[in-house]
Amino acid sequence: MMTETARVERDQVAQAAGAGAEFARELGATADSLVVEDETNAAVGIASEADRHDACAVVVGSRGLGRVKAPLLGSTTQGLLRHTRRPVVVVRTPQ
């Protein structure tokens, strides 16, 4: 059950990342999607991959947890801001 759940989650993440990169390309940017797997700390993994690929910026989505929930649950975006010197662009989901 866990393996199937992980596969479905990975597929959903890959699809969302691909759609985001495609949208950026439609707007004229050069963009690739990359799914970082098997990381205990997602922010560290993303920052490491951005360095490895010499990314000019990192674009992440925001789930909109807000100021109350984000510190309790941890925030990949906040962690990413601490672990990279690259520009971080946060995109909120349209409501």
CA distances, 14 to each of 34, 37, 47 (Å)? 7, 10, 18
**Average predicted confidence (pLDDT) for the chain:** 82
Give the pLDDT of residue 64.
61
Give the residue from 56, 75, 55, 57 showing the smallest Cα distance to 65.
75
pLDDT digits (tens, 9 = 90+) for 24-54: 899 999 998 888 776 678 899 999 999 999 9
| pLDDT above 80: residue 94 | no
Give the pLDDT of residue 71.
58
**Average pLDDT of 1-12?**
80
| pLDDT above 60: residue 83 | yes
